[in-house]
Chains A and B, each alone.
Chain A
Amino acid sequence: MSIFVDENTKVVYQGLTGSQGRFYGLRNRDYGTQVVAGTNPKKAGTDVDGIPIFATVADAVAETGATASCIFIPAPGVQGAVMEAAEGGIEFIVVITEGVPAQDEAWFYNKLKRDFPQVQLLGPNCPGIISPGKCNIGITAGEIAKPGGPVGIVSRSGTLTYQALHELKLQDIGVTTCVGIGGDPVPGTTFIDCLERFEADPETKAIMLIGEIGGSAEEEAAEFIATNMTKPISAYIAGVTAPAGKKMGHAGAIVSGGKGTAAAKMEALTAAGVHVGANPTEAGSLMVEIVRNLA
């Protein structure tokens, strides 16, 4: 099984008529994702390579039964797009767009929690989610992942996630679902949201967690793992050598006031029983070992 999405998930792409939206929307469809609609108020009634365009998400939901949305709208329009999706009846919203203002993120995260508690937001600034062989929403190259299981992946970093998928595939190890939660200060989906679902998913037998410096999400995950997780976990944290006070590409990846260091995160995870690798390859090898030892 997979978490959040599967082969029946119908997805509307907000921004399908733009260059990025079109490129990845069509790639996702080629992969097998049910890309059922796009939205653009000025282009309603047209289509993108056969995918119908609607004026609003509500119209797209009414016509196609879409339950998920993927947002490729430029940063200034993301807050409006997220609320339009929620109000239109979407339950799983993936925001790929990077550069969304933190004030906007904090606002729509809390607005959704209050008025649309059934909605699960993923991102902003994330690569998306892939359940190999079933559904790929976002910018992950689907062919680098082997379908099946038994590994579930949750990650704050895009390229490190691809690397993990690739290394597992080379070892002939499959993945149930790989969730890129993104590197922004207010991620809609957290490590804990994913760990909870992986723990409940019978086909996921082991979990790989990829974190990075900044914030306290990994420490919170470690606390959750210690009391709630029975499945084995391997982890890697990027940014051991990152200097304090400098943003490392991701808005969230910054060490401030001695908080959010890689060392503290690795220590917390190790104490919670997680197998922590010193580099991505080592974390991958640890996962291979875990999988080989599964009964």
Chain B
Amino acid sequence: MDLLEYQGKQFFARFGIPVSDGRAVDTVDDAVSAADAVGYPVVVKAQVHVGGRGKAGGVKLATNAAEAREHATNILGLDIKGHIVRTVWIEHASDIAEEYYASFTLDRGAKKHLGMLSAEGGVEIETVAVDNPEAIAKIWIDPVDGLTPEAARQWVLAAKLNPAATDGAVDILTKLYTAYVDGDADLCEINPLILTPDGRVHALDAKVTLDDNAEFRHAWGDYALTQVRDEREEAAHAKGLQYVGLDGSVGIIANGAGLAMSTLDVVNQAGGGAANFLDIGGGANADVMAGALEVINNDPLVKAIFINIFGGITRGEEVANGIVEALSRVTIDAPIVIRLDGTNAQEGRAILEPHLSDKLQSKPTMLEAARAAVELAGRK
């Protein structure tokens, strides 16, 4: 789950990381009041789940109430790469002497936490990594040891920040590591981390991705409200289905994440495109199947449906009965192609047999089924 900047800053503040005083607001009047409260000059910042806000006109400096009103008016409702700005963050503008970059994430290859720190902040770290990799000081942290203050100090010295920033950076990075671990984040990034002319180190931005699997031990309810999902994804998640919306015309239902991904690939190889990724899990009973078909059926992009089921522990005849029952409950507009294989596939296909028609076809292999579905999707 990705946090908006202001949520990330609130998250950081809970772990004692210094951030600017600010307010999150969603109307122009509130923006002006917030600006008055935090004190001019202020920065008006669009809160969206997408990068490149500055270039899109979503970050503006205001030195008085009239400017704050003007910027808030322009930014609220602004479309930034398809994301409409609903909330702006008003914070007191900081004086900047230097800009740094700092982050923690998991290095899957090393199976350790990776800290990255660079004196070249404020820009895309990917660009620095390519153009000037030695400008990034890296530290691999064993989760059992954690980040000790001594190790943090060595790391900061290796990054060659301004010596005036050393103590402040060690303090912030130690707290940022705690936020990353105890806060169950997949990513904690500060870009830029700034040094002010009077020698303070301070987080000017916040990019935080939380690990959805750890939600059981946190109170993250408010964050969920600001997540951007398309309507199809909302409907599918409400039914407990693993769904990702895509932009092709073949609706996909498969059991297992790997098989579902593979189904998208095969549809692509057959010359078509998938409208979605939908994993109904290991089994395929009538309730789950009916729910999945409803979600797919409500998607206007879908011109044909490809149900790809491999029976493992769930037997072919159970899967087939589930499909038949689901079809009796839900009226489906698009033609359906079913590929049923695995345990007791023969028995399952026999159950489907009397129901087959132009609008409900059964194919023995993934490839044949994909070709049929792609052809049907194109024919309409």
Contacts and interface: CB of A to CB of B under 8 A. Distances in A.
Interface of A: 27, 75-76, 99-104, 106-107, 109-111, 114, 139-141, 143-144, 155-163, 166, 183, 185-186, 210, 212-213, 215-217, 220, 236, 238-243, 246-253, 257, 262, 278-281
Nearest to A246: B244
Contacts of B184: 101-103
Contacts of B365: 281
A75 B213 contact: yes
B111 interface: yes
B210 to A, nearest CB: 10
Contacts of A241: 264-265, 267-268, 273-274
A162 B310 contact: yes
B142 A159 contact: no
Interface stretch (B23-31, B149-157, B251-259, B354-362): B251-259
Contacts of B313: 27, 139, 141
Given A114-B144, A248-B260, A281 B312 contact: no
Contacts of A161: 258
A280 B366 contact: yes
A241 B266 CA distance: 9
29 contacts: A99-B213, A102-B106, A102-B211, A103-B211, A107-B143, A139-B313, A141-B342, A144-B312, A144-B343, A156-B258, A157-B256, A157-B257, A159-B254, A159-B258, A159-B312, A160-B259, A160-B262, A183-B257, A185-B106, A215-B108, A216-B108, A217-B108, A239-B262, A248-B277, A249-B257, A249-B260, A262-B265, A279-B262, A279-B266
A141 B282 CA distance: 11
B19 interface: no
A144 B343 CA distance: 7
Contact of B342 (A139, A162, A243, A247): A162
A85 to B, nearest CB: 17
Nearest to A155: B258
A89 B365 CA distance: 46
Q: Which of B108, B113, B310 has the most CB of A within 10 A?
A: B108
Most A Cβ at <10 Å: residue of B186, B213, B265: B213
A106 B106 contact: yes
Interface string B345-359: 000000000000000
A107 B258 contact: no
A15 to B, nearest CB: 17
Given A103-B181, A107-B144, A158-B282, 9 more contacts: A110-B111, A114-B142, A186-B111, A216-B108, A238-B258, A240-B268, A243-B244, A281-B365, A281-B366
A148 to B, nearest CB: 20
B265 A240 contact: yes
A157 B144 contact: no
B277 A249 contact: yes
Nearest to B265: A240
B279 interface: yes
B274 to A, nearest CB: 7
A239 B261 contact: yes
Interface in B129-171: 142-144
B302 to A, nearest CB: 17
**Most chain B Cβ neighbours within 10 Å, of A159, A217, A238, A280:** A159
Given A76-B217, A141-B343, A110 B142 contact: yes
Best-surrounded residue of B184, B256, B279 (most CB of chain A within 10 A): B256
Task: Give the one of B126, B244, B365 with max A CB within 10 A.
Answer: B244
Contacts of A103: 143, 181, 184, 211, 214
A260 to B, nearest CB: 9
Contact of A157 (B246, B258, B264, B267): B258
A249 B143 contact: no
A242 B264 contact: yes
B235 interface: no
Contacts of A247: 244
Interface string B100-111: 000000101101
Nearest to B2: A245
A250 B111 contact: no
B257 A102 contact: no
Interface string B181-203: 10010100000000000000000
Contacts of A249: 242, 256-257, 260-261, 277, 279
Contacts of A100: 213
Contacts of B264: 239-242
Nearest to B126: A257
B53 interface: no
Contact of B112 (A106, A213, A248): A106
A107 B142 CA distance: 8
A210 B262 CA distance: 11
B216 A75 contact: yes
